[in-house]
Structure 1
Amino acid sequence: MQAQALPPLSIQQTIEQISIEQVVERILSSRQITRQDQYSLLALSTLTDQEQALINKVFDRLRLGLLRVVN
């Protein structure tokens, strides 16, 4: 069964309304990352150690080919 695609989020919506944890959970559960997801994860200038670890987890999986980049 394929994961249901969620509607794309603007970068501003992502930063204001959705936590890093929620973005990462959506990316990992769908096994897909959009450019907007990438930009939203990199847009914040200050991150906690936990947030940085979550972002590293996403990009590690991307490098390993476990995530698909979609528009």
Structure 2
Amino acid sequence: MRAIGPSNQILLETVLERVFTIRRITRQDQQLLMSTLLSKEDLNEEERLQISRVFDALQKGLLKVVD
């Protein structure tokens, strides 16, 4: 397994922060989070938890999906 790179980690943090702040997620953001979660890259527990929170919020209707 390869470690998540610094630029990818910053991108992930930026996307997560924006999604939770504005309570909206684009399809592109959703694809990025899904591919990151399903990739073989190492994610720390906090990153996995945050991504899971996004998908839970989507299922509960707490986030709006926009294009």
Q: TM-score, normalised by structure 2?
A: 0.71
Cα displacement (A) at 1:58:
0.7
Q: What percent identity do the matched residue pairs reach?
A: 47
Residue 33 of structure 1 aligns with which residue?
25
Runs (4 or more) in structure 1 with deviation over 4 Å come to: none
Structure 1 residue runs of 5 or longer lacking an equivalent are: 1-14
Matched position secondary structure for 1:66: coil
> Alpha carbon RMSD of aligned pairs, Å?
1.8
Q: Distance in 2 between matches of 1:56 and 1:66?
A: 13
Listed as ranges, the gaps of 5+ residues in structure 2 are: 1-6
Which aligned pairs between 1:7-26 and structure 2 lie closer than 5 A? 16=8, 18-26=10-18
Aligned-partner Cα distance in 2 for 1:54–1:16? 15
Q: Displacement of 1:16 after TM fit?
A: 4.2
Flag the 1:58–1:17 CA change in 2: closer, same or farther, 3 A. closer
Is it true that 1:52 corresponds to 2:43 in the alignment?
no
* Alignment-mate amino acid for residue 51 of structure 2: I
| TM-score, length-scaled by structure 1 | 0.68
